[in-house]
Amino acid sequence: MTLLFHMPIKLFFIAVMILLAPFVFVSNASNAYDHDQTKFSLKEKHNDIPCTTCHIGGDFSDTPVECKECHARNINIKAGIFSSTHMPVDLPCNVCHTNSSFRTTETDHSEFTKPCVFCHDGSKASGLSTKHVKSSDKCENCHITKDWAVARYDHTDISEDCLSCHNNGKYRGMPDGHNKTETNCSDCHSSIAWLPAQIQHDSVTEPCVSCHKGMQMPGIPAHASAAGEFCDDCHMMSAWTPVRFNHDNITKQCSACHDNYAATGKQVDHIQASEQCDTCHNYYSWFIVRFDHSTTTAECRTCHDGIVAESQPGNHIPSLTTCGDCHNTYSWTPVRNIDHSLVTQRCVACHNGVFASGQPAGHFVTNIECDECHNSSSWLLISYAHISANYPGDHIGSNPQCNDCHANSSSVIWSASGFIPDCAACHANDFMASNKHRTDDINLFLDCESSCHRRPLHRVSDTGF
């Protein structure tokens, strides 16, 4: 002590600083030291406490990292270890608690193996609600920890009738607004999906309105005034809609009921018309429309403009003529009476296989215009003037078709081209060296009109060749 008083003041302060150094510098170490390099990272609440809270007396060795080991040895930590009401568990604290707030509202139950009531007994943790139905079943038979409020109960092993449990005593029973019935619940409901109810009406003999009167069961909505006396006049129990209604005895106009209130009315995109519905429609097949155009004097496009009514299709031949020039309202297709007299374009401008039918597949290949052989008034009557010097003339007797000579080309394929332009160029193989000509040479009869005869025979115009 005497030495201490005689020690110079400067040395005295140095000695004090050395003694206090572990406490002074350790308490601020968290601001300077990277704790992530250790086995324990400082997060949230742990990042705000002095170092000496865990490193007692400045001792950095063997500091525990488990919550309960650290909290149990340090009486200065207010949280301490388990509270007196804490449930007995062997799980790490961080299964339920976090560093930000030790009080927890969500607990991961995946690591719990004991029954729910082991903890949830109303003391350690909240237990069975006072409003819970009386039950001896385990909690997990109906509940899951992820969504506790949505209870699901497996009824597959239940053999008793629903009312034996669901009688508003043990379990919730039939609600007050339920239709009065003596049938079993399972006749209409299923434990898999209680609603909607599937009611079997097969054994029901009373009129629908005896139950469906808008109180216990849905009643009649805003309804057509001309409806039948009984619901099943229009509806079926197997499929309530669509409705089938017998209009045979209806004498009123359609719009008397079909006013878009009592029953479906005219659609907003309907053609503007003042005629009665049955002018175009019939109630057996409403969507097959028949309209009498006999009294219509306006041009077709007045209504058929693509807005009021269907118009000219996209693949129609470009034309400025009126629809009635080619079509009639009794049978719109096929097209009849097309007057080609005013057409100045080539046939293929329209008859190209897109706008109108084109050249058929069996037609021989040619570059000449259609109207050199055909005419629009009688297309199949072919008339072509052959101007070639090699053409022998029209074969009136055999009446050959174009393809008989031209095959698939505008050019003629001669079977014996050495005899052009005589008949033998085509018919050399037809010469029969027999009978009268058995000793003759074909070269004497190349034109088939031999000078041996008193008069020419076998001419192309001869029908008895």
Torsion (CA) 273, 277, 278, 284 in degrees, nearest 10? 140
User: Which pLDDT value is given to residue 26?
Assistant: 43
**163, two tokens:** 């009312």
Q: Judge whether 162 and 178 are in contact, CB under 8 Å.
A: no
Look at residue 326 and tell me if it is in a domain. Answer: no
The domain of 372 spans: 359-465
The total number of structural domains that make up the chain: 1
Q: Judge whether 428 and 416 are in contact, CB under 8 Å.
A: yes
pTM above 0.85, yes or no: no
In the structure, how many helices (H) and strands (E) does the chain have?
5, 0
Instruction: Give the pLDDT mean for 247-271.
Output: 83
Residue 384's nearest CA partner among 396, 368, 407, 404 is 368
**93, two tokens:** 């604290």
Whole-angstrom Cα distance, residue 249 to residue 283?
12
Look at residue 342 and tell me if it is in a domain. Answer: no
Task: Say how many C-beta atoms besides its own lie within 10 A of residue 142's C-beta.
Answer: 15
Look at residue 409 and tell me if it is in a domain. Answer: yes
User: Which pLDDT value is given to residue 432?
Assistant: 63
Q: Judge whether 300 and 323 are in contact, CB under 8 Å.
A: yes
Look at residue 208 and tell me if it is in a domain. Answer: no
Provide the phi-psi class of 436: left if phi over 0, else alpha when psi is between -120 and 50, else beta.
alpha
User: Which pLDDT value is given to residue 351?
Assistant: 87
At 15-70, the pLDDT tens digits run 555 554 444 444 444 456 788 788 888 888 788 888 888 888 777 777 888 887 78
Hunting for tokens 């009635």 — which residue is that? 324
Look at residue 347 and tell me if it is in a domain. Answer: no
Instruction: Give the pLDDT mean for 439-463.
Output: 62
Whole-angstrom Cα distance, residue 343 to residue 454?
53
User: Which pLDDT value is given to residue 447?
Assistant: 66
User: Which pLDDT value is given to residue 425?
Assistant: 83
Backbone angles phi, psi at 164, to 5 degrees: -65, -25
**168 pairs with which residues across the strands?**
none
Q: Judge whether 142 and 150 are in contact, CB under 8 Å.
A: no
Q: Judge whether 115 and 139 are in contact, CB under 8 Å.
A: yes
Q: Judge whether 186 and 162 are in contact, CB under 8 Å.
A: yes
Residues in the chain: 465
Whole-angstrom Cα distance, residue 152 to residue 137?
13
The one-letter code for the residue type at 261 is Y
Look at residue 285 and tell me if it is in a domain. Answer: no
Mean pLDDT of the chain: 76
User: Which pLDDT value is given to residue 22?
Assistant: 47
Whole-angstrom Cα distance, residue 390 to residue 397?
19
User: Which pLDDT value is given to residue 436?
Assistant: 65
Whole-angstrom Cα distance, residue 369 to residue 102?
98
Look at residue 394 and tell me if it is in a domain. Answer: yes
Look at residue 440 and tell me if it is in a domain. Answer: yes
Q: Judge whether 185 and 163 are in contact, CB under 8 Å.
A: yes
